[in-house]
Amino acid sequence: MSAAQASWRSVPRTLVRSFRWWFAIGALLTLSVLMVQGGVRELLDGTAPGSGASAYLSFGTTIVGGGLLAGCLALVMNRLR
C-alpha cells in the first residue's frame, strides 16, 4: 500500500460524510439558482450557450463547481471549529 492510499484511509468518516452532504446541498442550490434564472429552460429548448462548450457540459461543470465549493467550505469551517 502506498503512502497516498494510507493517508486517504486515515481520513475520518465524519469528514467524508460531511463533504458528501454539503457537496449535494451545494449542487442542489446551484441547480436551483440555474432554474430560477431560466438556464434549465434554455438547456431544454436547445438554445446554444455563449461559450464554445456544449450546453450540457457547461451546466454540468457549474453544478459540480457549486458542489465542490460547498463541500470544501464545509471542510474548512469544520477544521476551524
Q: What is the pLDDT of residues 1-54, one digit of tens each?
A: 555 555 656 778 888 888 999 999 999 999 888 888 887 777 777 665 565 567
Angle at which helices 55-80 and 13-37 pack, to 10 degrees? 140
Cα(55)–Cα(65) distance, integer angstroms: 15
Residue with more model confidence, 80 or 66: 66
Q: Is 53 part of any domain?
A: yes
Cα(81)–Cα(79) distance, integer angstroms: 5
Cα(22)–Cα(72) distance, integer angstroms: 8
Q: Is the pLDDT of residue 67 over 90?
A: yes
Using CA atoms of 23, 66, 73, 19 in order, give the dihedral in degrees to the nearest 10: 10
pLDDT, position 26? 93
Q: Is 3 part of any domain?
A: no
Number of domains in the chain: 1
The count of residues in the chain is 81
Q: Is 5 part of any domain?
A: no
Q: Is 64 part of any domain?
A: yes
Q: Is 28 part of any domain?
A: yes
Q: Is 7 part of any domain?
A: no
Q: Give the helix ranges, DSSP H, for the chain.
A: 3-9, 13-37, 39-45, 55-80
pLDDT, position 3? 56
pLDDT, position 15? 83
* Structural domain of 23: 13-80
pLDDT, position 35? 83
